[in-house]
């Protein structure tokens, strides 16, 4: 069965520190993977996506993610956290059929001064 | 810019009421989706539609129905609202997602059933 697991429902970092949000997936076919961000009281916005063109994917706002097939992972990183990065982050996996997305439970990122 | 617009940001309804949540997209997308978002559970798919008048159940369709009479509009209907349907509802739309085309989301409707 296809699934997405995000390790850590809450992550807290200092401003300027490395951000690492973890995502593992399970898929019987080559996956398409996405990271979305949700700021308070808003909808979801695409950060980046993996579509098999390159294993290191760069997104908006300085985020990037590396696809590792051997580890079935797609972790999201940012070298230096900013206060404006405080939000909830969702990892998602594209399933077959009519193109449905399966989402992880989300990780809430807090950034403190 | 792609826009997915949900008709209400906040709604308060009474138990037993029939509730309509409306979603409109302006990008001629074939696919439209309704998700429910609850803390610790992420987003769960309620229903989706891949064409006008076509619909498919998602993972949690019980207590909900949908309507898609026009390509740009997708409505979620709570036939008889219950308190356990208090949640954030998110609408999304996309072209067919093969190849990783992204889904675009509306701002969400926070529904409270009292």
Does the distance separating the beta carbons of A101 and B105 come in below 8 Å? no
Q: Give chain B positions within 8 Å (CB) of A36.
A: 105
pLDDT digits (tens, 9 = 90+) for A45-75: 999 999 877 889 999 999 999 999 999 999 9
Question: Tokens 């309509």, residue?
Answer: B20
CA triplet B85, B104, A53: central angle to 5 degrees? 130
Query: In terms of pLDDT, which residue wins out, B95 or B63?
Result: B63
Phi, psi of B99, deg, nearest 5: 80, 5
Which residue out of A33, A74, A95, A99 would a mutagenesis test of the B interface target, given it has the greatest number of B Cβ atoms within 10 Å? A99
Spatial CA neighbour of B91 closest among B39, B2, B24, B11 = B24
- In angstroms, the CA A80 to CA A91 distance is 20
State chain A's mean pLDDT as an integer: 92
Q: How confident is the model at residue A29 (pLDDT cuts 50, 70, 90)?
A: confident
pLDDT digits (tens, 9 = 90+) for B31-43: 999 999 998 899 9
């Amino acid at each position: 069965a296809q699934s997405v697991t995000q390790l850590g429902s809450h992550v807290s970092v200092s401003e300027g520190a490395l951000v690492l949000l973890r995502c593992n997936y399970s898929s019987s076919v080559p996956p398409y993977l996405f990271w979305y961000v949700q700021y308070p009281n808003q909808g979801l916005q695409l950060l980046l996506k993996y579509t098999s063109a390159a294993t290191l994917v760069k997104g908006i706002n300085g985020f990037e993610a590396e696809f590792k097939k051997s580890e079935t992972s797609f972790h999201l990183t940012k070298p230096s956290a900013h206060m404006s990065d405080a939000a909830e982050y969702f990892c998602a996996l594209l399933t077959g059929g009519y193109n449905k997305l399966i989402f992880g439970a989300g990780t809430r990122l807090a950034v403190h001064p | 810019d792609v826009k997915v617009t949900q008709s209400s940001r906040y709604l308060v309804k009474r138990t037993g009421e029939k509730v309509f949540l409306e979603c409109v997209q302006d990008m001629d997308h074939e696919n439209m989706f309704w998700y429910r978002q609850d803390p610790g559970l992420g987003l769960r798919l309620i229903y989706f539609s891949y064409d006008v008048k076509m619909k498919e159940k998602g993972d949690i369709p019980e207590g909900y129905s949908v309507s898609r009479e026009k390509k740009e509009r997708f409505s979620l209907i709570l036939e008889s609202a219950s308190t356990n349907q208090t949640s954030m509802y998110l609408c999304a739309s996309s072209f067919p997602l093969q190849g990783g085309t992204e889904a675009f989301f509306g701002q969400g409707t926070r529904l409270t059933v009292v």
